[in-house]
Amino acid sequence: MMEAFFFLLFATMAAGGAIMMIASRNPVSSLMYLVLAFFALSGVFVMLDAHFLAAVQVIVYAGAIMVLFLFVIMLLNLGHREDIDMRGHLARLVALVAGSGLFAAVAALVFRGEQATLAGEESRLAVEAMIRSRGAVGALAEPLFTSYLVPFELTALLLLVAIVGAVVLARRRAP
Amino acid sequence: MNLDIELASLILSAFLFAVGTAGVLVRRNAIIVFMCVELMLNAVNLSLIVFSRSLGLEAQVLVFFVMAVAAAEAAVGLAIIIAIFRHYEGVDVDRFNLLRW
Amino acid sequence: MLSLPLLLQEAHAAYEPILPAWILLLPLIGAVVNGVGAFNWRGNKAIPSIVGPAAVIGAFAIVVVNFLAMRAAAPHDPAIVSLWTWMSAGDLRIGVDLQFDQLSMLMLLVVTGVSSVIHVYSVGYMREDPGYSRYFAYLNLFVFFMLILVLGANFAITFVGWEGVGLCSYLLIGFWYENREFASAGKKAFIVNRIGDFGFLVAMFLVFVHFGTLNYETVFAAAPAALAYGGAVVTAITLFLFLGCTGKSAQIPLYVWLPDAMAGPTPVSALIHAATMVTAGVYLVARTSVLFAMAPVSQAVVAAVGAGTALLAATIATQQYDIKKVLAYSTVSQLGYMFVAVGIGAYTAGIFHLMTHAFFKALLFLGSGAVIHAMHHAYHEVHSHEDPNDMRNQGGLRRFMPITFATMWIGTLAISGIFPLAGFFSKDEIIWYTGAYGYGILWGIALVAALLTAGYMTRLMVMTFHGENRTGADAEPHLHEVPAVMWIPLAILAVLSIVGGWVNIPDALPVLPAVHALHDWLHPVFEPARGILEAHGLHDAHSSPIGGGEAMWAGISTVAAAVVIILTFRALVHRTWKPAADSTEPTGLAGVLYNKWYVDELYDRTIVLPLLALWRGCWRIVDAGLIDGSINGLAAGTRAVGWIGSLFQTGRVATYMFYFVTGVLVILATFLL
Amino acid sequence: MSFFESHWVLTVLLLLPLAGAVACLFAGKDEAKHVALVTSIAAFLLSLPLFWVFREGTPAIQNYVSIPWIGQWGIAYTVGVDGISLLMVLLTTFIMPMAILGSYSYIKRQEPTYYAMLLLLMTAMIGVFIALDMFLFFLFWELMLIPMYFIIGVWGGERRIYAAIKFFLFTAVGSLLMLVAIVTLVYLYYRQYGVVTFAYNDLVELPVTRSAQFWLFSAFALAFAIKVPLFPVHTWLPDAHVEAPTAGSVILAGVLLKMGTYGFLRFAMPFFAYAATSDVVVYTILTLSLIGIVYGAWVAAVQPDAKKLVAYTSVAHLGFVMLGLFALTSESIQGGILQMVNHGISTGALFLLIGMLYERRHTRLIEDFGGIAKVMPFFAFAFVVVALSSIGLPGTNGFVGEFLILIGTFRTHPVAAVIAATGVVFAAAYMLPMVQRVLYGPVEDEENRELTDIGLRERIVLLPALAMIVLIGVYPGPFLEKTSASVDALLQQIEMRASQAPLEPLGTDVRFDHMPILGVDED
């Protein structure tokens, strides 16, 4: 009961934040709604036993990346722009149709696939046992540093490249 | 009330994704479009975490990578937006059509 | 049993050709040496002067030796000299084989003999020309190919010579290539000849398909059994061959190139376009007499075309002013006579006239060359640009050029058929047999053409040598007789024009002894064809279509010719002509004849121009329009589709997002449905 | 077994130009041409003994070798020559030094790349003629496109890009269909015998059903017909010829076009004998050949551009070759093969000559010339000889080939032969006016008065061609003897296969899904 309540709470917060993000005029408000949604999502992550990822979500996403966005909005001085960047009625209608269509389609697929559970009970138990024995971090670290070591290292390289790239792109060119 | 969290999470994921899509379609501000893309990424992450409970923890590894790549992408993407802003003096996606030559 | 044919062969193999390859090699070597000389020692006149004539005279000497050997042996079958295998593929075997028989021997004598004389003459005539060495290279090469034509033992080798002489004719007509018209005349000759050669080729294909070989001996031996008399095949073969002959020997409808061919140096006209090459068609019909004898339709065609050409050309000749053009049409006309002869089956008569014609027409051409040489020299001295060839600019030349004058009168009398010169015997024989074999209309035409011949030749002589001189007062003192190197050949040919006919004197003539030397000589060659003809109803009526014997008609024709000559002479000798520059173009019938019945114009309008238009249409419309147009249209269409597609590529993120979402929805929908 | 009887001579012939191409790339601007010339002459000298070592009178493939290459797909390095390919290889090695030496003063930029391209092209051309593995053949067939594309597109005339793309597209369209046909053939073989092989000797034995033969033959025929080029897919040729540099035109006319006719003879006809001898195919191709002969001559006659004129004469000449091949008589096919060689020599020489004029005057328009014989006598001599060879004057090589083709064709298709023989007349009608307008007449243009006659290098380029024109014209025996056994065997083979072509597939025991797929190796 408790679980259900919290889930619904987080879910409502996430969904509401998302809707408000695309609906609010001010980019800064949009961003704040998005941060709210991300926080709520990390709650959902916890309820799904992904504690480590929930933490990363808060620290990296809601924290670092969103702050980066905020910086940029401030930098470009977009914060108090009142000129609406919302498209016209036709576009809104299209977006509504597309969005609800997409949602309906995926939801239908989810409900249809529910009967045929994705995997047997055995693997579910194995995953839970893994989390119990190694803890949330350990369970994730095991494959990350063994089977996926090379992609992991490549990620490091990617981040380096991204930093260099960002600097190069955003640098003010000498006149 | 007996709520299947996994099922509900998948529905939530679908909803967030749909909202992100709608946002991309409806907004002209490049940064907000960008934010919508981030939202869609998170929706997918949510799905992956749901699947990780039954299919193995590799799915969570993938979420981890998605986050890392999203960070890189945000850095580069925002840098591009800054560059574009300097050139066009605006971030309205309708004002530039760089994909066409 | 096996040895019997071998023994028979042995018996007839008494005659072995002596140095056969050298007959060909000497002129070829001459051509090569002179050809090298044309590039490397252009100023040197001595080497061509010696090498050119020597090569041909050497060949002539070998031919004479061979002739004597053959006369002694009197072989019945031809002697074949195989040099090497030319083409060999599938069932086809073509050897480079030379055939020595009485016909080719006679032709060898005529060709090398007349060539020798003309080569010597050329030394004088062409001496001042900058292309002297090149000239002799071409001339020697011509002799080489002409000898191949004559000696070929199969159709293919003959064809090599046939096209080879055409090539040399082309090169020599366009010898002064810097003159655009001369070069065009050469081109015209070659292309018109090619039309004839097409016929020759097709005839060869037919022969090969039906006989499996192109060797004369085999084909002629097999023909009577293999092909039906008068059948479609043999008719087709002979008609296609005759198409070749009309090209090479300038008969209707392909005669138009020969008058233009007078653009070449005059000795060339004498050698190639009078004495030798143009008679190749007559030679070919005689050579393939067996086939023609089997095809009465073809025979009739040959004879009719010959007669028609003889008359047509003779009429044109009466109104020409260019001395060489008169002689050219005269040649066409005389060739017509020869075709009449070989067409009606009087092969010996045809070859006889071929031989005598070679003498007197070469003489006349060389004589005209002497006139032109003198005229050109005189005009050159006074820097005049008058036309030395035009008879309206000549006249009264007998005072300046007595030898030329005398020898040319001999030639004129010979060609007119005045007793006892060469032309009398040969032409009379043709006319007589035409009548006696029952070709009444042709006989009449031949008689009329003979009188025309006497007329236009007398006109030529009068305009050139008699009356007042019209060269112009300043040029007149520079007119001189030609040097000895040029008039000696004239003299030699004059003698031959007198005595050349005495090898064949009919029985019927009173007083004279009957001589059958030529008939007897050629008998082995024409025996099979004559056999076929006689077996199928050829008979000698011994009287003309309107009665009268041979002696009577010979007398009538020679007297008539003499009368025409005298009348023409008297009519024209006191007439005055304005020099060419002051003359207007003749009108009326004379104008039509002067313009050669407008045949060239007719060909131009009905064949050449429409063809060119068609070809241009093929290029512009079919190639550039239809084919390239459709290909380029395809490319343009692709580009258009791409352009329409590019309209969807706005370059805006939102548009692509829209497409993307639409696509995702469609995919999801397919999952769901 | 000596070197010249082994496959090594062929392998070295393939590798030598390739090595030369690499050397050219590294050579300096001025040395590259010498490297290329030496390489090509070495290749020619290497190939020359084959002419005498070759055993006549047997249709067997000689200098044969088959070395497995991609084993699981049955692809092997299989090369060898019979009489037909021998002549083609020799033609290639004969033409190449002429083409290279003829480029010496013509090409003035990026020489190393240019000569490397020429040598690469040489490898590809030799490869096409000696390959007896369909994969290897196709590899070389396509490889040849690349250097030719660049030679036209980089060193060509004003509209070189258009011409190069046109050339490429035309050829590529054909090749693609041929590739499909090759793969189908391999598949059919697999279905029949359960073995995957690209070997020519295997595939040629495959009994293909009659209906399938028509489809596959059409695919092959289109590829080869474009290359020949047969009317109406010939329009790439005039553009390519006009725009290509001299050496490009020489090679294009001299060798590349022969690949089409060679392909018909080597692949399309024996593979699909039933289709190739069926009335509908024979009459179609004979008709197209005749149109090519007559139409090519007609269009050539009205061209203002000398090079374009010669290009259209190629259409006519290759029409003769195709006529000979599909008349299906020993005489005509041998004549066709000889005519391939003849056309290579005489048209190659014509392009060289026109290139020499172009180098001096920078125009190819016939009307810009006139009286050239006066200022360039040796050039005029060579031009006339080559032109006469082109119009098939007896005593030159052109006559022997055309005569054999026509007389052979007359045996089976007399009407076609007669129509083709009119091409002899038209040949004079296009060639002589050009000769006249270029060489004869007065020198009217002052620029023409200054022209210098061709020099020693150019004479050396031309003399071999002139010598071959006369040699083959007078004594073609040695050349015809090379091909007679191969042609007779080929005809027999075609006749036999045509009669044995099955109506239905001969059993389909082996199923397609067993075909080894890449990565799913059975070992």
Q: What is the pLDDT of residues C256-313, one digit of tens each?
A: 888 888 888 889 988 888 888 899 999 999 999 999 999 999 999 999 999 999 999 9
**Rounded Cα distance, D137 and D125, in Å:** 10
Comparing CB atoms, the residue among B21, B97, B101 nearest residue C652 is: B97
- Predicted local confidence at residue C8, as pLDDT: 44
Mean pLDDT of C241-267: 88
**Rounded Cα distance, C214 and C92, in Å:** 9
Check pLDDT > 80 for residue D465.
yes
Buried b (16+ CB within 10 A) or exposed e, D52-63: eebeeeebebbb
Give domain status of residue B79, yes or no.
yes
Same domain, A4 and A40: yes
- Predicted local confidence at residue C658, as pLDDT: 83
The answer, for C2 touching chain A at a CB cutoff of 8 Å, is: no
Mean pLDDT of chain A: 85
Same domain, A24 and A93: no
Q: Find which of A20, A36, A41 to mutate to test the B interface (most B CBs within 10 Å of its CB).
A: A41
Note the pLDDT tens digit of each residue in D161-206: 889 988 888 888 889 999 999 999 998 888 888 888 899 988 888 8
Chain A residues whose CB is inside 8 A of the C671 CB are 105, 109
Mean pLDDT of B71-82: 90
Comparing CB atoms, the residue among C89, C205, C614 nearest residue D417 is: C205
- Predicted local confidence at residue D507, as pLDDT: 56
Chain A residues whose CB is inside 8 A of the B78 CB are 68-69, 72, 166, 170
Cβ within 8 Å, pair A101-C665: yes
Please report, rounded to a whole number, the percentage of residues in chain D having pLDDT higher than 90: 44
Cβ within 8 Å, pair C672-A108: yes
pLDDT band at B1 (very low <50, low <70, confident <90, very high): very low
The answer, for C191 touching chain D at a CB cutoff of 8 Å, is: yes
- CB A68: neighbour CB atoms within 10 A? 16
CA distance A165 to chain C (A): 22
Q: Which residues lie closer than 8 Å to B63 by C-beta, 6 or more apart?
A: A50, A53, B45, B48, B49, B52
Closest CA to D332 of D275, D269, D382: D269
Domain count, chain C: 2
- Predicted local confidence at residue D520, as pLDDT: 39
Cβ within 8 Å, pair D424-C197: yes
Check pLDDT > 90 for residue C624.
no
Please, are residues A22 and B19 in contact by the beta-carbon 8 Å criterion? yes
- Predicted local confidence at residue C206, as pLDDT: 92
Higher pLDDT, C113 or C673: C113
Give domain status of residue C501, yes or no.
yes
Residue C476 sits in which domain range?
346-594
Check pLDDT > 80 for residue C673.
no
Mean pLDDT of A51-68: 88
Touch between chain B and chain C (3+ CB pairs, < 8 Å)?
Answer: yes
DSSP alpha helices (H): ranges in D328-452?
330-361, 372-375, 377-390, 397-412, 414-439, 446-449
Comparing CB atoms, the residue among C178, C205, C614 nearest residue D441 is: C178
Mean pLDDT of A97-105: 89
Cβ within 8 Å, pair D393-C164: yes
At D81, give phi and psi (nearest 5°): -130, 145
Check pLDDT > 60 for residue C443.
yes
Same domain, C568 and C622: no
Same domain, C510 and C615: no
Check pLDDT > 70 for residue D518.
no
Mean pLDDT of chain D: 88
Note the pLDDT tens digit of each residue in C525-550: 898 888 888 888 877 777 777 877 88
Note the pLDDT tens digit of each residue in C120-172: 999 988 888 888 889 999 999 999 999 999 999 999 999 999 999 999 989 99
Same domain, A128 and A105: no
- Predicted local confidence at residue D522, as pLDDT: 41
**Rounded Cα distance, C629 and D309, in Å:** 20
Cβ within 8 Å, pair A37-B16: yes
- Predicted local confidence at residue C541, as pLDDT: 75
Which residue of chain C comes nearest to D376, CA vs CA? Answer: C39
Chain B residues whose CB is inside 8 A of the C658 CB are 25
Q: What residues 614-673 of chain C have any CB closer than 8 A to a CB of chain B?
A: 649-654, 656-658, 661
Check pLDDT > 90 for residue D137.
yes
At A115, give phi and psi (nearest 5°): -60, -50
Task: Output the pTM of the full model.
Answer: 0.82
Residue A12 sits in which domain range?
1-85
- Predicted local confidence at residue A119, as pLDDT: 55
Give domain status of residue C627, yes or no.
yes
Chain B residues whose CB is inside 8 A of the A97 CB are none
- Predicted local confidence at residue C298, as pLDDT: 92
Same domain, C546 and C643: no
Check pLDDT > 60 for residue C13.
no
Give domain status of residue B100, yes or no.
no
In single-letter form, the type of residue at position D459 comes to R
Chain D residues whose CB is inside 8 A of the C178 CB are 371, 374, 440-443
Domain count, chain A: 3
Same domain, C627 and C585: no
Closest CA to B12 of A13, D374, A173: A13
Instruction: Give chain A's length.
Output: 175
Closest CA to D93 of D34, D42, D56, D132: D42
Same domain, C483 and C623: no
In single-letter form, the type of residue at position C195 comes to I
Same domain, C638 and C545: no
**Rounded Cα distance, C444 and C304, in Å:** 12
Mean pLDDT of D343-371: 89
Domain count, chain D: 1
Give domain status of residue C170, yes or no.
no
**Rounded Cα distance, D152 and C625, in Å:** 24
Comparing CB atoms, the residue among D235, D238, D407 nearest residue C92 is: D407
Chain A residues whose CB is inside 8 A of the B10 CB are 110
Mean pLDDT of chain C: 87
- Predicted local confidence at residue A116, as pLDDT: 52
Q: Which residues lie closer than 8 Å to C489 by C-beta, 6 or more apart?
A: C117, C118, C120, C121, C366
Mean pLDDT of chain B: 86
Residue D334 sits in which domain range?
280-474
Check pLDDT > 70 for residue C10.
no
Cβ within 8 Å, pair D235-C628: yes
Please, are residues D318 and D228 in contact by the beta-carbon 8 Å criterion? yes
Comparing CB atoms, the residue among B11, B27, B54 nearest residue A119 is: B54
Chain D residues whose CB is inside 8 A of the C603 CB are none
Q: What residues 471-500 of chain D have any CB closer than 8 A to a CB of chain C?
A: 474-477, 480-481, 484, 488
Closest CA to C567 of C455, C659, C431, C482: C455
Looking up residue B71, the CATH number of its domain turns out to be 1.10.287.3510
Buried b (16+ CB within 10 A) or exposed e, A76-96: bebeebeeebbbeeebeebbe
Cβ within 8 Å, pair D410-C205: yes
Return the structure tokens found at C557. 């024709």
Please, are residues D372 and D439 in contact by the beta-carbon 8 Å criterion? yes
Check pLDDT > 70 for residue A175.
no
Give domain status of residue B15, yes or no.
yes
For β-strands D75-81 and C515-516, DSSP reports them as unpaired
- CB D508: neighbour CB atoms within 10 A? 10
Touch between chain A and chain C (3+ CB pairs, < 8 Å)?
Answer: yes
Domain count, chain B: 1
Same domain, A93 and A125: no
Note the pLDDT tens digit of each residue in C23-40: 999 999 999 999 888 888
Residue B61 sits in which domain range?
5-95
Give domain status of residue B90, yes or no.
yes
What HEC string does C18-73 produce?
A: CCHHHHHHHHHHHHHHHHHHHHHCCCCCHHHHHHHHHHHHHHHHHHHHHHHHHHHH
